[in-house]
A and B are shown apart, each in its own frame.
Chain A
Amino acid sequence: MNPQPKIEIAALRKQFGQLVVLKDINLTVEQGSVVALIGPSGSGKSTLLRCINLLVTPNGGSVRVGGDSFVFGTGAKLPGTRELARFRANTGMVFQHFNLFPHMTALGNVMEGPVTVRGKSKREARELALTLLAKVGLSDKVDEYPSRLSGGQKQRVAIARALAMEPDVMLFDEATSALDPELVGEVLSVMQKLASEGMTMVIVTHEIAFAREVADRVIFMRDGLVIEEGPARQVIDAPREAATQAFLSHFHRGGAATPPAETAL
């Protein structure tokens, strides 16, 4: 529908010292679509996700999100801290270990961005935060501190906190990997709801069944390269590459193929 993709990444390269983590990555994400990054640990998928909002500075290539584009590599000028902050304010990120602010209540966590970064009044931010906490099903936990919440509740607060910045794009970095199995569903269902509302999302996940259900496209990475990409069901049900088949076989054998989205909703 939109001729220009929302996210466009070209020839992206990243190395930590001698270790090359991303080699020539090209990726586009259409407005309103959901892309899942899958692959074994160490494949570079989390680093790629962190390059999209520049939490990790690439060594080469270009990153464009909406109207903001950055070029990296020799001769390219690195963006300043203010420019980076403004850019990151427009993308929401959800972390594997939640990274909630432990000295603030759930409400305080969600209000923090709008108040400190957007300069909203406390009253306005509070209203927005209450709406978002209701949306993730936590109206009864607004005054609790993170230490009193379960993992699933923490992650839902973290999603509300990211949404409070009214981002164009949401990035999920293994949002359910640190959760007890019985708490995974409540987080996935919130993510599915967001996807159905048309949020542009990039998801790093080990929930293959969820990726199959919710993602429009799946990208399989290994050793810093995109090995295979395509429509979600095609990549997961009928992978063409041997590496993808080998990776996915672990999941099918593990019996994780029950779509958690169905059990959650």
Chain B
Amino acid sequence: MYQWDFAFLWSYRWLFLNGLGVTVGFTVAIVALGLVVGLAGALAKLSSFAPLRWLSLAYVEVFRCTPVLVQLVWFYYALPILSGIEISAITASMLALSLYGGSFYAEIIRGGIVSIDPGQTEAGAALGMTPFQTMRRIILPQALKRMIPPLMNQSIIQFKNTSLVSVLAVPDLLYQGQIAAHDSYRPLEVYSAVAVAYFVLLFPLTIIVRQGEKKLSTSD
């Protein structure tokens, strides 16, 4: 019978806290960058200028249809050969995860925008608004409300995806866990604790999303 022992984990607390800080920091950065990329991708996909639409389509499909782990490894090991520029593991991870997230955000944002009744665009145009004014004042405020739950969902997935950066030796929560496991020879307790840490952070977020969805379905 295995003898559980969680007490020793306390001696690794700073390691875990550090890792947690990197994980949370990474998530904030890739969500923010991903949203900017996603908004640009969505607007490009809705553009009346065909080459922009093709570019956006190619970007979204390439990043949605390749595994994020492959993208991470590609950005770290392959991109420097192609571009001739040496990039750090952190930069490569940031790029890969932001672009990966952005491709999903782009589809969510585009879907939110096209879900708004075309009559709204017509009403804006009939008042003499430019397409930009209609988008900013009429369409986006309504679309945003519908986009928030799926955007939150995708961001939760992004949070979990940050654990993949450990393969590039970025010192996130999982990577620090690996160090602690090798050091203590107790992978069962260490990795269980790591899983609990992710769960404790994410579970409240999923509840918030679910409540948001419920509120949304009653308000429309």
Contact = CB atoms under 8 A, between A and B. Distances in A.
Interface of A: 53, 55, 81-82, 84-93, 95, 97, 99-103, 112-113, 116-117, 161-162, 165
B141 interface: yes
A100 B137 CA distance: 13
Contacts of A87: 128
Given A55-B122, A95-B119, A116-B137, A103 B128 contact: no
Interface string B5-19: 000000000000000
Contacts of B127: 88-89, 112-113, 116-117, 161-162, 165
16 contacts: A55-B125, A81-B130, A81-B131, A85-B129, A85-B133, A86-B128, A91-B126, A101-B123, A101-B138, A103-B141, A112-B127, A113-B127, A113-B129, A161-B127, A162-B126, A165-B128
B117 interface: yes
Contacts of A102: 142
Given A86-B128, A93-B126, A99 B120 contact: yes
Chain B interface category by residue count:
10 to 19
A120 B138 CA distance: 18
B220 to A, nearest CB: 8
Contacts of B120: 99, 101
A172 to B, nearest CB: 12
A99 B120 CA distance: 6
Contacts of B123: 93, 95, 99-101
Contacts of B137: 112, 116
Question: Which 8 A-B residue pairs are closest in the complex by CB-CB distance?
Answer: A89-B128, A99-B123, A99-B119, A93-B126, A113-B127, A117-B128, A88-B128, A85-B130
A117 B142 contact: no
Contacts of B145: 103
A48 to B, nearest CB: 15
Contacts, number: 63
A117 B129 contact: yes
A161 B125 CA distance: 13
B128 A90 contact: yes
Given A55-B122, A87-B128, 16 more contacts: A55-B125, A84-B125, A85-B125, A85-B129, A88-B125, A88-B127, A93-B123, A101-B123, A101-B138, A103-B142, A112-B127, A116-B129, A116-B133, A117-B129, A162-B127, A165-B127
B126 A55 contact: yes
Contacts of B142: 101-103
B217 to A, nearest CB: 14
A67 to B, nearest CB: 16
Contacts of B126: 53, 55, 88, 91-93, 95, 162
Contacts of A89: 127-128
A112 B128 CA distance: 11
Given A99-B119, A101-B120, A116-B137, A82 B125 contact: no
A55 B137 CA distance: 19
A93 B126 CA distance: 6
A101 B120 CA distance: 7
A132 B142 CA distance: 25
B201 to A, nearest CB: 32
B89 to A, nearest CB: 44
Contacts of A165: 127-128
The residue among B117, B128, B145 with the most chain A CB atoms within 10 A of its own CB is B128
